[in-house]
Structure 1
């Protein structure tokens, strides 16, 4: 698939991934910014859509029992959960959020808040937007918390489910504000678990962030869905829609979207609300800053070490600035994105074998006890 370049129209809404292109599901604030002419929302279910008109000479037929039961289940979930989904607006665009508690805390994506610290939040009641401020953001997992300045008394916090109990095939609904169409719902299934995706701002080897353990879903995720709710038929939030795949520039890949598991989002949100930051990421780190190294023939050569954090696993193992990391545990790391994806599958405290190309042309393999990503 062709990587998608960063584009201003969707306000940070495009990112490339190592295997396929991925689009951050963040809208620029209206349907007019869509490349498809303003919102072909096939697969979306609009709340309150009228029934099809009757046809003369043909009697109306009630759907069979199981179909009617499923329709009733969908309706119940929408009625119970949609009031907990909000629209978040910044100077750069808009996204979605989930009411977390009665104190006015709202969970969303870090890429929705971006560099902003002040926001306008439109609640599901349709009342005038209310102001909010940033509590904290954690870009490595793309999770953030904002807080309403004056929370209304009728807030509807969402119910959070256990994402570790999800199975492939579980029916889910995605709720948010795609392309600025507030209160939209799409349906699908969990199509895979444990995905890792890297977002890149330029479509090249440099990685902005790598997100592990994502839920893959067929529920339609479009710009503006970011930060909304992926819910099961019990009405519990099991994920936060975050990314949508694309097969090429401005070419969405239908039926391939990704969501942050609810257990991850809730754990990070609790830390940010309690401490104002994430204190326990459970993400492995070498303890370096690095960049992708391009060889003389134009191909990627590995990951060049720029700085080494004092007292880090890399420092204790003797890794130095100027070294090039070519593999970890025997798996090649031609780009920073590839290295990030490998580390995303490891845990703090693990010992990793790191292959190095030294500045003098020699090679070495060192054992690194991995630290924790701050």
Structure 2
């Protein structure tokens, strides 16, 4: 059977011709018009990154660390047809490393990205990364989903899991990003930040945002070692919608401080996030979480430590009700908590 395309209002979903081989050429042709290159200049400094088109009004999703220098500078966007357009910042959310910019004079033929169902993504699924690595716009690489719900903490002091990989720019020293990430083997490099990670149907499942490195000196660039991370598409959609509608995003709040911990249940040790304190009146307090509890899971996803819990909470939306697996007094119980916002 030949490959087919199904028409729609966004990028054209790709129907693969057989069940064993992905026609990546067809996927790339469908998705490339929805991925842009971003250049930020501020004084003598500059940065390059990527972005994905969200709608026909010219809103574009990217990483905060790509455009943070554009608050007092200039942002230009190069579309797939090589036309260059000015853009302004609509809103940023440093905590998730997401941002929305908008073309000041968007053309009438923009192609928004199509969003996929992240809940259907499985480890081993084939994926394609599209972006602007090293200034090479429209570059595509392929790989697989290596892991789901990978907790990634990025800051200027942690070189092993670097969030900043837009060219020429780094996160500010006081910025810490915690992500419930999709890990991929698709090669991503400096400049891929804010680009698309798509499935075999050409649908967005993540926004490429960070890479793991083996460590590097402060004056050298880091590159791909086959471990890249992307912000889940459902989180991208939720945060960017907030940024477009009100210019800022609300952070989900559980209301606990934790550290890495271990509990013993039925004679078996299990890792988790040990609760050190519970804020009075918080969702955790209302749900019955106590100091000394060890949280080992959320909605069926294992919690392996403090960062893992923070990543899972931050990936939710304010008002979501989550089920926590809590180890207490050598037994495990489930506690439902409705997340607040801050």
**TM-score category of the 2 structures, normalised to the smaller one:** 0.5 to 0.7
Distance change >3 Å, CA 253–CA 181, structure 1 → 2: closer
Tell me, in whole angstroms, the C-alpha distance in 2 between the residues paired with 1:78 and 1:146: 24
User: 1:278 is matched with which residue: 232, 249, 263?
Assistant: 249
Higher RCO (Cα < 8 Å, 6 or more apart): 1
Paired residue for 2:201? 234
Q: Does 1:76 align with 2:76?
A: no
Q: Deviations over 1:112-139 (max 9, x none)?
A: 1224235111111112x21111111122
Name structure 1 gaps, 5 residues minimum.
1-64, 291-301, 317-325, 332-337, 354-368
Q: SS state of the match for residue 110, structure 2? A: coil
Contact 1:95 1:227 in 2 (8 A): yes
**How far has the Cα of 1:70 moved from its partner?**
3.9
Distance 1:169 1:277, change over 3 A: same
Q: Deviations over 1:134-156 (max 9, x none)?
A: 11112222221111111011211
TM-superposition CA deviations, 1:226-262 (whole Å, max 9, x none): 1011111211111111111111215646211111111
- Secondary structure at 2:70's aligned position in 1? coil
Match of 1:130 in 2: 85
Query: Please, which of 122, 130, 135 is the counterpart of residue 175 of structure 1?
Result: 130
Q: Tell me whether 1:264 sits opposite 2:235 in the alignment.
A: yes
Q: 1:119 aligns with which of 75, 82, 97?
A: 75
Going from structure 1 to structure 2, the CA distance change for 1:165 and 1:313 (only over 3 Å counts) comes to closer
1:54 equivalent in structure 2: none
Q: Match for residue 178 of structure 2?
A: 210
Work out whether 1:104 is the aligned partner of 2:58: yes
CA contact (8 A) 1:352 1:370 kept: no
Residue 95 of structure 2 corresponds to residue 140 of structure 1: yes
Using the alignment, how far apart are the partners of 1:113 and 1:309 within structure 2? Answer: 34
Q: 1:284–1:343: 8 Å Cα contact kept in structure 2?
A: no
For 1:246, which of 199, 202, 213 is the aligned residue?
Answer: 213
Match of 1:265, SS state, is: helix
Q: Residue 303 and residue 186 in structure 1: after superposition, are their counterparts in 2 closer, same or farther (change >3 A)?
A: same
Task: Say which of 139, 144, 163 aligns to 2:118.
Answer: 163
Aligned length: 266
Shift of 1:169: 1.3
Q: How far apart are the structure 2 equivalents of 1:96 and 1:201?
A: 21
**Cα distance between partner residues in 2 of 1:82 and 1:242:** 18
TM-score (norm 2): 0.66
> TM-score, normalized by length of structure 1?
0.60
How far apart in 2 are the matches of 1:166 and 1:84?
Answer: 21
Closer/same/farther in 2, CA of residues 218 and 352 from structure 1, 3 Å limit: closer
Q: Would the aligned equivalents of 1:198 and 1:341 in 2 still touch at CA under 8 Å?
A: no
CA contact (8 A) 1:309 1:315 kept: yes
2:40 to 71, 90, 95: 90
| 1:230–1:315 CA distance, 2 compared to 1 (3 A) | closer
Contact 2:152–2:311 (8 Å) recurs in 1: no
Deviation of 1:342 after TM superposition, in Å, equals: 3.1
Tell me how far apart the structure 2 counterparts of residues 167 and 131 of structure 1 sit (CA, whole Å): 38
Structure 2 residue matching 1:270: 3-state secondary structure: helix
Q: Secondary structure at the match of 2:225?
A: strand
Aligned-pair Cα RMSD in Å: 3.9
